[in-house]
Chain A
Amino acid sequence: MTRARIPHLIGWSIVAILLFPWRAPELPRQIGQTRPTFVTRLIGPSASLAASVYWIRFDLALRDGEHDRAYVLAERALSLDAVAPEGWHTLARHLIFDRGSLESEPDPQRRRRWIEAGLAVFERGELETSDPGQLAYLRGTILTLYVAEIADAIDWPGGTEGALEDGRRSLERAENLGYSPTGASLKSHVDHEHAPR
């Protein structure tokens, strides 16, 4: 090795050493704590744009019937931009209304699992997004206005009451977080509609 190469080698060794901590695992996240991931810190304002590219690929994969691939792409998009609630909503809506639809999944047990998976995406989103109230509201709306209606058909744990109770809790959480898109309380409406007579 010539002497001229030595600074080269030292420079690249420093780069390699600087790269090493990037492989360290993320620290466990606290509930309600929004903390940018390593990737978002690295690519900064481009993270949202990169996530949009992944969401386009997600749509294309779904159109091609490549569901497994689509879900990996969605997860990549969410890891790049976990703050925007739209991403969580897109994935959850697909799982609940597309995969969990009667036409796509006639088997009640499997249908219930898709819906549960979609609701779990909302819950995950509440921990990471900048607008957890919106996701809590959407979760509550779906539980009270949709899942409660089909609860018997998909053998929902606790039946209609179980879905309504879970939905009320979500709507209450949304209200506590100050989210109310119509100005009126959907939870009060649900309480009124399903009050014992």
Chain B
Amino acid sequence: MTKWFSAGLCALEFRRAFWRVLSPTGLLLGLVLALRTAQVSSLPFENAASARGLHREETWVAFLLILIPLSVFRAARIPTLWRSGEADWLGARPIERSAAIVSTWAGLALALLLTVVGAGLWIESEIEGEHESPVFVGALALPDPLPLNPGATRSIAIAGPALADLIDTQPGPAIALRARVRLTILPGGDPTSQVRLTVAGAPGSTEVLVDGRTWLEVDCRLSGESLDFELSNMGAGHVVCLATPGIELWQPGGRERQAWVSLATRACLGLGWATALAFAFATWIGSFTAASTVLALWLALLISPGLPAWLSAASLPRALAFVAEGRLPENLDGRALLAAGAVAAAAWALAQAGLRSWRHTP
């Protein structure tokens, strides 16, 4: 009877990938964690949050820099191994070719999942304390940079569909948020300037002395269908509110330790489609070329600005930047899973066509 999934093939690839991927990444991770330095103690403020954020970011970057190429090359090598002799016993088994592809990829994916989860837990175990951290809700880019000349007051409103895209605006209890804008000082006036950010209808406001580039953050509550902010330049310097990122909204109440879940989810989804594509390409072209193609594609996604957040690989750098600040990226929505699933399904179809013969050599 023909089988549609082979647990044996899955376990075989799991064992192979686990040792080949886990050993070098584990060693590297151990090294990076061993090199951790102490936080600054002589400065007149507490900067432990930055130290923790930077440690998380650096460790994850080092870990992913070795894990991603190793995984992609491992996936691209599988069809070559099959064609260089393993097809002799594989082809004689009562298993569909498509099932062999799925089972083997599943073994690789399982090994990667365990490696990423293990690394995430290891990194977190090295960082002390449980701390609160705001969670990214969304950002509304401004159409143009907003100039704030000395003495000027400018309003920014988020309302209607723009706000509904960011957060649920259905009637209900008011939602506590934090909003922040990015300011920078321009030449031509004083080198610094005092700027105030106020939320319309709320008693609180925040002031900051803009000296170069500065974030200005204020607490607000969303109880209606709009959020209105007012920026006042009370100094004699020329200030500009940057159009990108515009206004960022954050929701308090997250836990800093959840950072590893956000990063691991994005990494696993990215590795899922990347290994599936590398496997599929390698059934048509050489394994080295296939792996290099997928890595180049991933790199293009990483450095292209303005890509949608549901492209899990593209959202990884921004998620890492938030974690470095001691903040949490937003949860991935269902579209990210669908996108990764669609790529994996297309890769499966491509691999099946490429493996029409066990003996075919690209």
Contact of B49 among A23, A68, A79 (CB under 8 A): A68
- State whether B213 touches A63 (Cβ < 8 A): yes
- State whether A117 touches B42 (Cβ < 8 A): yes
How many residues in A have their beta carbons less than 8 Å from beta carbons of B? 35
- State whether A71 touches B40 (Cβ < 8 A): yes
- Which B residue sits closest to A9, measured CB to CB? B19
Q: Which of B29-37, B295-303, B333-341 contacts its partner? A: B29-37
The reply on A174 being an interface residue by CB < 8 A is: no
A117 to B40, CA, bound (A): 11
A62 to B213, CA, bound (A): 9
The reply on B233 being an interface residue by CB < 8 A is: no
- State whether B54 touches A72 (Cβ < 8 A): yes
Residues of A with C-beta under 8 A to B39: 72, 75
Residues of B with C-beta under 8 A to A74: 40
Residues of B with C-beta under 8 A to A181: none
- State whether A63 touches B43 (Cβ < 8 A): no
The reply on B51 being an interface residue by CB < 8 A is: yes
The reply on A39 being an interface residue by CB < 8 A is: yes
The reply on B4 being an interface residue by CB < 8 A is: no
Most chain A CB inside 10 Å of its own CB: which residue of B42, B50, B325? B42
- Which B residue sits closest to A37, measured CB to CB? B37
- Which B residue sits closest to A57, measured CB to CB? B54
The reply on B232 being an interface residue by CB < 8 A is: no
- Which A residue sits closest to B52, measured CB to CB? A72
A114 to B103, CA, bound (A): 61
A113 to B42, CA, bound (A): 11
A106 to B31, CA, bound (A): 44
Per-residue B-contact encoding for A1-36, CB less than 8 Å = 1, 0 else: 000000010001001100100110000000000000
- Which A residue sits closest to B46, measured CB to CB? A68
CB proximity of B184 to chain A, nearest CB, Å: 8
A22 to B50, CA, bound (A): 24
- Which B residue sits closest to A106, measured CB to CB? B209
CB proximity of A187 to chain B, nearest CB, Å: 26
Interface residues of B in 160-192 (CB under 8 A from A): 184, 190-192
- State whether B19 touches A121 (Cβ < 8 A): no
Given contacts A15-B27, A75-B37, contact A116 B44 (CB under 8 A): yes
- State whether B40 touches A103 (Cβ < 8 A): no
Given contacts A15-B27, A23-B34, contact A69 B324 (CB under 8 A): yes
- Closest 7 pairs between A and B when the two form their complex, measured CB to CB: A65-B213, A68-B50, A113-B44, A22-B34, A79-B37, A68-B47, A75-B40
Would you mind naming 19 contact pairs between A and B with Cβ atoms under 8 Å apart?
A12-B23, A19-B30, A65-B211, A65-B212, A65-B214, A68-B49, A69-B54, A69-B324, A72-B47, A75-B37, A75-B39, A79-B37, A79-B38, A103-B191, A103-B192, A104-B211, A105-B209, A121-B42, A124-B42
| B interface residues, Cβ below 8 angstroms from A | 19, 23, 27, 30-31, 34-35, 37-40, 42-45, 47, 49-51, 53-54, 184, 190-192, 209, 211-215, 324-325
Q: A66-B325, A73-B54 are in contact. List 4 more A-B contacts (CB 8 A).
A: A16-B30, A68-B45, A79-B37, A117-B42
